[in-house]
Amino acid sequence: MRNWLKSSYNTFSLCVIVTVLLLNIFALLNSNDTILRFFKPLLIPAFLMYLFIKNNSVNKALIIFFVFSFLGDSISALYSGSQAIKYANLSYFLSYLSLMVLVLSKLKSIKIDKVIGVYLFVVFFINSYFLYELFLILKANITDIAEVNLFILKSVSLTVLSLVSFVVYLTKDTKQSIIFLVMALCFVFSDVLFYITNYYIYNWSFAVLERVLHVFGIFFLFGYVVSENQIKVKQKQESYSEITLRENALT
């Protein structure tokens, strides 16, 4: 067990991906997503255990995300009905909000080019139109005003999250920015599929895909955390090497 936990993140994540794919195949063959639904809440504790054992530091905003995301997964797995969906969506909204705060903090050191700004405005307009059309469809099927408001809040937070992640990717073009952007897109498409399957047309394959996309979003987020920690460790090592060289030069 200890040796397994000490394995590299790539090996650990590969095991998770294979497990998710096998569960997905099982769900598709049996037209039943129950196992995948109960598997989701176990992911965050498993990844967190791995991170802490490997001595990785975790941003406070990310800790808030993990707490509310785990809460949303647990509510979805253990309870059913409109009230459970409402509380789960509230938890997911708060988790996305924490990610939005995290990525907005990265904009302080970024200068946006005019061409990129125009391009982002066009993307934002198209995305907003699509969400508005989806809102009109769902509004006719959702009787609970609170759930409609939650849909608006989640849509806005995910739109901002994906657009800002895209800005960071265009300006920095680093491995971390790519991972974060893919994570944001996974959450966006997962959320869209959730509302389609629950309030418009239920399709069990869409329901499975929605959960799989959310799982992969969490997977990419943990990959982002690991990658960020690797950079910090490398910077500390380089800083320590420079200090050592200076001390040796003085002596």
- Residue corresponding to tokens 């129950």: 34
User: Are 183 and 225 in contact, with CB atoms under 8 Å apart?
Assistant: no
The per-residue pLDDT for 131 is 74
Prediction pTM value: 0.78
The per-residue pLDDT for 6 is 45
Q: Which parts of the chain fold into alpha helices (H)?
A: 2-5, 9-30, 34-53, 60-78, 82-104, 114-139, 145-172, 175-199, 204-250
| 158 CB-side CA count, 13 A | 25
Which two tokens mark 96?
């996305």
The per-residue pLDDT for 113 is 67
The per-residue pLDDT for 204 is 74
The per-residue pLDDT for 112 is 65
Q: How far is CA 2 from CA 54, 93, 229, in A?
A: 11, 35, 21
User: Are 103 and 165 in contact, with CB atoms under 8 Å apart?
Assistant: yes
Burial class (CB in 10 A: 0-12, 13-18, 19+), 13: middle
Mean pLDDT for each 10-residue chunk of the chain (251 residues)? 49 65 65 68 79 72 88 84 83 90 75 69 75 74 77 84 83 83 89 81 77 84 82 67 61 60
The per-residue pLDDT for 13 is 62
